[in-house]
Structure 1
Amino acid sequence: MDKKPTVYDVAREAGVSIATVSRSLRTPNAVRATTRQAIRTAIDRLGYVPSGSAQSLAARRTNSIALFLPTIDELDSLSDFELATVDEANMVIDRPTHHVVARYDSLYFDTVLRGCELEAWRQGLSLVVSLGMGHSDADISHVVNDVSGKVDGIIVLARSIPDHMLEALHRRRPLVMIASSPTAHEGEFDLVRVSNRKGMCALVGHLLDAHHVSRIAYMTGPDDSPDSAKRYEGFCEALTLRGLNPAAAPIYRGQFSQRMAFDITSALVERDQLPEALVCANDQMALGALSALHRAEVDVPGRVIVTGFDGITETDTSNPRLTTVKQPMLELGRAAVATLVKRVDTPDAPAMSTELPVTVLLRESSEGVLPDA
């Protein structure tokens, strides 16, 4: 089409009235499912941006950008909240507990989000944050359509929006991916990520060369996590370079969950199947493993070395302090915003890809007592 598609074009394409299109965008539950699907299909095909002010970004901007994060654990137990004034102070005995809260990778999200906020502020932009995955396609589509019409561009953290929606969204709005882009179209997306493979390879190489571990195990994240996949590639590469078979190393599916890592490690202790080194694909699994080992009074690193990946703040206060690969999470968020600003300013430029370096932090969970500087 030579002109920007309008609500009239969507109505004609879907075979419905303009009022029905508007109602579907504002209150989708008020429209039959088959009608909503027809309208969504028309929107995707035409590349329509559902906004009354939809114009060329170069001519008119909202000075707002959006960030889509994956859904987080707290949503599963979120209940209605009622405002109430209760003027009192309660006192309870706060006893120690071995319960581990499963937050998955929300600590990682917190820092990336903070980086986006800081760079958006520096660039004079407002940041709109929304949750993606974990809902039905219809719900995600409604949220994406609603948000995309209010912002100049969108940042998507991997696994936040299904690939088939990303491709349509990419045609309608400037879009930057953090961590990964759709496999079939990777070279077409602006992408910001860190050196996951090299970081894990360097860490595991150190364990093999400096500590001469022969029984090493790996605790992995979700199957659909691009970060987890790259880190496992680095794990395998380090073993292969030293003539070792990666397939011989046990793999435990911790799903990036502190709670699951705690349970898995506790089971290994009970079965007396602990490796010499437990390499975890993120810090929260490693912290869960440390908690289980501490509860079982297993010496770390004397009996088993534990390592993580990410470099969240909690790793510097754990006991022992956790050896980890620190990725520049704050800079990752900032780089995503800076890339999106460039894309908005130069919409026809070739796709941009940025990879940020990581740092292996050797601490007591692998090295034992460290000398003072």
Structure 2
Amino acid sequence: MATMKDIAKRAGVSTSTVSHVINNTRYVSEAIAEKVNQAAKELNYYAPSALARSLKVNRTKTFGMLVTTSTNPFFGEVVKGVERSCYHNGYSLILCNTEGDAERMRASIDTLLQKRVDGLILMCSTLEGERIEGFDRYPDIPVVVMDWGPIDFACDKIQDNSYQGGYLATQHLIDCGHRQIGCISGPLLKQQAQRRFQGFKDALRDAGLTENADWMVEADFECEGGYQGLQAIAASGSLPSAIFAGNDMMAMGAINAANALGIRVPEDLSIMGYDDIHLAKFVSPSLTTIHQPKYRLGQAAVETLLHKLDDPQSDSQTVQLEPTLVVRESVKRV
């Protein structure tokens, strides 16, 4: 019966490289992986099953992830970071979509835990602030929460500094000469929306500017919310010179509404976004926005789970990633 050593000799690589390819425990270039797999095939080598390996090491080399349904590409870009990081670390990812349903979310969590995933990533605001049953039955499975509200179980958190991002966005509008500034916020029940809105208000206050209630609208983090938000502001009878939208989707919806109303962006109205999704640079005008490190968010979640697996007794931590300004064409300098 052929061994990994035999495969290594035929493929002209080290035995450890063969092990990484067969067990998927580390990234190996496609060319080398192909040589190893071809040598294994020629020698009729049969790798032990994933189940057999998991029983031996008491790990399944699998992470589970739950994501809230949304048309926002932001979620997909974060998932890409999670999946790529899993791959480079020899892990598989099971992705569940909650469809915005609290009961489905609970059922998905229970299913993933029963499948003995090595760790769980939660990126859902469906149950923000509510208790989730089930984790106490699986105390050895680490959990990482991304951008969520208050929770009542021990876990690590990965989040962006939403307050700083909201402040940074508004400060850029002020630096560009704008003094009449409105805001289309996300749903203020969600912590990210609250923090970005608070950053917006504090930036106005620090600049000695007055809030105008007619120019502040709460929406839903979707394009339709941004569209309706700008319509509501325009219907108030006056327009600010600039608007900070709580995410890029609402900013793009606002730009669309402006076009429908005959409002030129940025000549008549400047619009600022948040997230820097991939589409932001391709709208017209291209969107000035706050960059949230989406790939790094996903990567940090996986790295945190791996650290917890290596050191189960380590204290829970919060990893905060800092936003940055991306200047494009949707904000006019007055």
Establish whether TM, by shorter chain, passes 0.5.
yes
Aligned to 2:159: 193
How far apart, in 1, do the equivalents of 2:86 and 2:274 lie?
27
Match of residue 30 from structure 2: none
Does the Cα contact within 8 Å between 1:158 and 1:226 map onto a contact in 2? no
- CA deviations 1:181-232 (Å, max 9, x no partner) are 52556xx420111121112212211212331x23211101123322111111
Structure 1 match to 2:59: 61
Aligned to 1:301: 266
* Residues 1:115 and 2:81 aligned together: yes
For the 8 Å contact 1:181–1:189, the answer to whether it is kept is no
| Consecutive unaligned residues in structure 1, runs of 5 or more | 1-52, 73-102
Give 1:260 shift: 2.4
Match of 1:24 in 2: none
Q: Which residue identity does 1:156 align to in structure 2?
A: L
In structure 2, relative to structure 1, the CA distance for the partners of 1:130 and 1:170 (3 Å cut) is farther
Q: Which residue of 1 aligns with 2:203?
A: 238
SS at match of 1:192: strand
Q: How far apart are residue 288 of structure 1 and its match?
A: 0.7
**Are residues 1:155 and 2:153 paired?**
no
Residues 1:64 and 1:142: Cα distance change in structure 2 (over 3 Å): same
Cα 1:148/1:141, change in 2 over 3 Å: same
Match of residue 304 from structure 2 = 339
Question: Is residue 2:165 matched to residue 1:180?
Answer: no
Matched, 1:360 2:331: no
Q: Provide closer, same or farther for how the CA distance between residues 170 and 191 of structure 1 changes in structure 2, counting only shifts above 3 A.
A: farther
Q: Does the 8 Å contact 2:216/2:233 carry over to 1? A: no
**Counterpart check, 1:289 vs 2:254:** yes
Measured at CA, do residues 307 and 174 of structure 1 come closer, stay the same or move farther in structure 2, by a change above 3 Å?
same
Q: Secondary structure at the match of 1:348?
A: coil
Identity %: 28
CA contact under 8 A between 1:179 and 1:192: conserved in structure 2? yes
Preserved CA contact (<8 Å) 1:141 1:165: no
State how far apart, in whole Å, the 2-side matches of 1:115 and 1:359 are: 18
* Matched letter for residue 59 of structure 2: R
The offset of 1:334, in angstroms, is 0.9
Shift of 1:244: 3.3
Coordinate RMSD, CA, aligned = 2.6
Separation in 2, partners of 1:136, 1:309: 27
Pairs aligned (count): 279
1-structure distance, mates of 2:101, 2:75: 18
Measure how far apart 1:158 and its partner are: 3.6
Q: Name the aligned partner's letter for residue 179 of structure 1.
A: D
Q: Is the 8 A contact 1:196 1:231 kept in 2?
A: yes
Matches within 5 A, 1:40-119: 59-72=57-70, 103=71, 106-119=72-85
Q: What residue is the counterpart of 1:223 in the other structure?
A: 188
How much does 1:350 deviate?
0.5
Q: Given residue 204 of structure 1, which amino acid in structure 2 is its aligned partner?
A: T
Code of the residue aligned with 2:224 in structure 1: it is: R
Q: Name the counterpart of 1:129.
A: 95
Match of 1:330 among 284, 295, 298: 295
Q: Which residue of 1 aligns with 2:11?
A: none
User: Structure 2: which 5+ runs fail to align?
Assistant: 1-50
Match of 1:86 in 2: none
The answer to whether the 8 A contact 1:112-1:329 is kept is yes
Q: Deviation digits for residues 132-166 of structure 1, max 9, x if unmatched?
A: 363253x4333221111221110001414565444
SS in 2 for 1:336: helix
Superposed CA offset, 1:312-368 (max 9, x none): 111111111111001111111111111111112211101121111211112211136
Match of 2:9 in 1: none
In 1, the alpha carbon distance for the partners of 2:136 and 2:280 equals: 37
SS of residue paired to 1:360:
strand
Which amino acid in the other structure matches residue 306 of structure 1? I
Q: TM-score, normalised by structure 2?
A: 0.76
**1:143 alignment partner in structure 2:** 108
Is contact 1:301–1:365 with CA below 8 Å preserved after alignment? yes
Per the alignment, in what secondary structure is the counterpart of residue 365 of structure 1? coil
Letter in 1 for 2:74: Y
SS of the residue aligned with 2:301?
Answer: helix
The two structures have a TM-score, normalised by structure 1, of: 0.68
Contact kept? 2:179, 2:209, Cα under 8 Å: no
Do the aligned partners of residues 249 and 238 (structure 1) sit closer, same or farther apart at CA in structure 2, a change above 3 Å counting?
Answer: farther
Amino acid at match of 2:296: E
Tell me the secondary structure at the aligned position of residue 129 of structure 1. Answer: strand
Residue 312 of structure 1 is aligned with which of 277, 300, 305? 277
